[in-house]
Chains A and B, each alone.
Chain A
Amino acid sequence: MGQTIIEKILSSHCGRTAHAGEIVVARLDFIMGQDGTSPLAIRAFQEMDGQAVFDPDRAALVIDHSAPSPNEGVSALHKLMREFAREKGLHLFDIGEGVCHQLVPESGRVGPGSLVIGADSHTCTYGALNAFSTGVGSTDLAAGLISGQMWFKVPETFKFVCRGTLPPGVYAKDLILFLIGDVTADGVTYMSAEYTGGAVTALSMEGRFTMANMAIEMGAKAGLMEADDKTFAWLGQFTRRQFTPVSADPDARYAKIKEYDVSSLAPQVARPHRVDNVCPVDGVAGTPVQQAVLGTCTNGRLEDLRIAAGILAGRRVHRDVRLIVAPASRRIFLQAMREGIIQTLVESGAAVVTPGCGPCVGTHNGVPSDGENVISTANRNFKGRMGNSNAFIYLASPATVAASALTGQITDPREFVKQVTA
């Protein structure tokens, strides 16, 4: 019987041929923890009588969620992480280096066929590299650090076939928001998503990361795609390691297959307070916004900043809007500086914050006020997500966020995109 991508990766890491529904204990290639989850994992590590980390080269801790620390409570937890990392010989990415889901791919440790766990739900992001990576909690993280293993139920797979060409001004973010709206927030629960089709292969690596990142918003365990030349070219910037691509067999069994033609897709927006509450931008155009956020592990990459800068160049952000920009990593920040993107964004009125999670999770860097509307490139708009349960979060592409920041209301970016490319 043929296998899906995830069945193959799990098989190669548990020493036997595994199919959906089976429970396996698999070997881990990489393990990641961030500052919201690692402190509890360190406590669990101690409760487990953990001594050493199974292989310090295969794990890293990242301080990105509240970085730099906004208060003494967080400072104490950061200190705990730094001490643990030093003691166990683990690499720790400290404040200013970026958001975990950008840093792990940039580390060159993860590629096609890898099996990764991270104590963060958006760990599914590395599916863009043809890796099986999934989010776990702190206790699982500790167990992984000690044993180098994790148990998994081999999931069934939901295959998304996306054909056609995305129109100008419509991006990977719009596509994934559309898919989430279509299958809903639990449409892929307990399953793995496989993204295929010409519209997916046409995406840049940046766009693929965006697609994989949001798999969890449909409840998926992973959001995988095949590797191609683009994947290997991207990885080649960071590592000489050899990876073997993993593709699904032609006779692999899928729990579900859905086909889409993306050729007439419009920019999409997720309305408060659910990620699957999605409509074309027309449906909410004109809604006033007080804050705009460009960044996060979903859309804080160079291409995202470049698209936004293209729209904002030579213009001023609306006087009633605060535009906050958080590059996803220091490397991206530096590249954006070299290209003049940061200059353009700041001249337009943007406030640039430390590479990392920025205001995404509501601990610092731009908590909205009561009754305010935020338009953000992030992946979640749950009530209270940005630190105030009386605020309203709309999710959209970097282009839609930039256009809305200019006009002070949710705006279809296609007019601006046309001007930029004309």
Chain B
Amino acid sequence: MILAGRAHKFSDDVNTDYIISGKYKFKTLDMKELAKHVMEDLDPDFYRKVAPGDFIVAGANFGCGSSREQAPLAIKHANVAAVLAKSFARIFYRNAINTGLPVLECDTDGIEPGDELTVDPAAGVITNRTKGTVIPAKPLPPVMIKILNDGGLAAHFRKYGGFNFD
């Protein structure tokens, strides 16, 4: 699977309250509704600006804060294809993979807002077509690749009835 889209850039330490504010997350399980408020406190127009297949590109410690899975789900339902960041907070990282949102750890300094990117999550390779550069991503642990390939943890459990990493 190769993903292609434009970069939307954010800084370090984007926390889960910025991704989706607590005032929305407790109200509903309707992720399409939550998606309308994604990143709202950092960029009120984000939901309108993002085209299907675009990427969130951020600095270090993306997704720090709460364990709310609404955070990766709202990003996914806003049609964002993947999140690229210098590093991720661990609960967000797990939740993203579990819910099938690709997350890639890489050096994002060379990516500017609006840059056209192609991303190969399995190979861990990002191509910045605007700048003509190739950016390697840190490989996911094999357990996570297995979960992502199965379509998320729910699908993994449906398939095996439990954890199966053999």
**Chain A residues proximal to chain B, CB less than 8 Å:** 23, 25, 35-37, 39-40, 43-44, 47-50, 65-66, 71, 73-74, 77, 119-121, 123, 135-140, 142-143, 146-147, 149, 151, 153, 185-186, 189-190, 219, 221, 274, 361-363, 367, 380, 382-385, 387, 389
Contact, CB under 8 Å: B69 / A139: yes
Contact, CB under 8 Å: A23 / B61: no
B153 at the binding interface (Cβ < 8 Å): yes
B21 at the binding interface (Cβ < 8 Å): yes
Question: Most chain-B Cβ atoms within 10 A of its Cβ — which of A137, A146, A186, A221?
Answer: A137
Cα–Cα, bound, A251→B104 (Å):
35
B132 at the binding interface (Cβ < 8 Å): no
Q: List 21 contacting pairs A-B, 8 Å CB cutoff, sorted by A.
A: A25-B163, A36-B25, A36-B66, A36-B68, A37-B67, A40-B73, A43-B29, A49-B161, A121-B91, A138-B95, A143-B153, A149-B163, A185-B64, A190-B90, A274-B13, A362-B22, A363-B26, A367-B23, A382-B18, A384-B17, A384-B18
Q: Which residues of chain B are within 8 angstroms of A382 by Cβ–Cβ distance? A: 15, 17-18, 65
Tell me, rounded to whole Å, the shortest Cβ–Cβ distance linking A33 to chain B. 10
Q: Which of B23, B89, B154, B157 contacts A363 (CB 8 A)?
A: B23
Cα–Cα, bound, A332→B152 (Å):
41
Cα–Cα, bound, A39→B68 (Å):
11
Across the interface, name the chain A residue whose C-beta is closest to B95. A137
Tell me, rounded to whole Å, the shortest Cβ–Cβ distance linking B33 to chain A. 10
Q: Which of B26, B153, B162 contacts A149 (CB 8 A)?
A: B162
In chain B, residues 1-48, which have Cβ atoms closer than 8 Å to a Cβ of chain A?
13, 15, 17-18, 21-23, 25-29, 41
Cα–Cα, bound, A119→B66 (Å):
9
Contact, CB under 8 Å: B27 / A74: yes
Q: Which of A44, A77, A139, A389 contacts B26 (CB 8 A)?
A: A77
Q: Which of B26, B28, B94 contacts A136 (CB 8 A)?
A: B94
B128 at the binding interface (Cβ < 8 Å): no
Tell me, rounded to whole Å, the shortest Cβ–Cβ distance linking A215 to chain B. 12
Across the interface, name the chain B residue whose C-beta is closest to A138. B69
Cα–Cα, bound, A274→B64 (Å):
11
Given contacts A25-B163, A48-B154, A137-B95, contact A189 B87 (CB under 8 A): yes
**Chain B residues proximal to chain A, CB less than 8 Å:** 13, 15, 17-18, 21-23, 25-29, 41, 60-61, 64-70, 72-73, 87, 89-91, 94-95, 98-99, 141-143, 152-154, 157-158, 161-163, 165
Contact, CB under 8 Å: A186 / B87: yes
Cα–Cα, bound, A108→B95 (Å):
29
Q: Which residues of chain A are within 8 angstroms of B163 by Cβ–Cβ distance? A: 25, 143, 147, 149, 151
Give the interface SS of chain A, mostly helix, strand, loop or mixed.
Answer: loop
Across the interface, name the chain B residue whose C-beta is closest to A187. B61
Q: Which residues of chain B are within 8 angstroms of A142 by Cβ–Cβ distance? A: 154, 157
Cα–Cα, bound, A123→B158 (Å):
27
Q: Which residues of chain B are within 8 angstroms of A47 by Cβ–Cβ distance? A: 154, 158
Q: Which of A43, A66, A135, A146 contacts B67 (CB 8 A)?
A: A135
Q: Which residues of chain B are within 8 angstroms of A383 by Cβ–Cβ distance? A: 17-18, 41
Question: Most chain-A Cβ atoms within 10 A of its Cβ — which of B13, B90, B98, B152?
Answer: B90
Q: Which of B15, B61, B65, B98 contacts A139 (CB 8 A)?
A: B98
Contact, CB under 8 Å: B158 / A121: no
Q: Which residues of chain B are within 8 angstroms of A149 by Cβ–Cβ distance? A: 162-163
Contact, CB under 8 Å: A135 / B91: yes
Across the interface, name the chain B residue whose C-beta is closest to A221. B90
Question: Most chain-A Cβ atoms within 10 A of its Cβ — which of B18, B68, B72?
Answer: B68
Cα–Cα, bound, A66→B23 (Å):
10
Cα–Cα, bound, A120→B64 (Å):
13
Contact, CB under 8 Å: B87 / A74: no
Q: Which residues of chain A are within 8 angstroms of B89 by Cβ–Cβ distance? A: 186, 189, 219
- Besides A73-B26, A136-B91, A362-B21, 15 more A-B contacts (Cβ < 8 Å) are A23-B141, A36-B22, A40-B69, A74-B27, A121-B66, A121-B67, A121-B91, A142-B157, A186-B13, A186-B61, A219-B90, A274-B13, A362-B23, A382-B17, A384-B21
Contact, CB under 8 Å: A36 / B18: no
Q: Which of A77, A137, A153, A186 contacts B91 (CB 8 A)?
A: A137
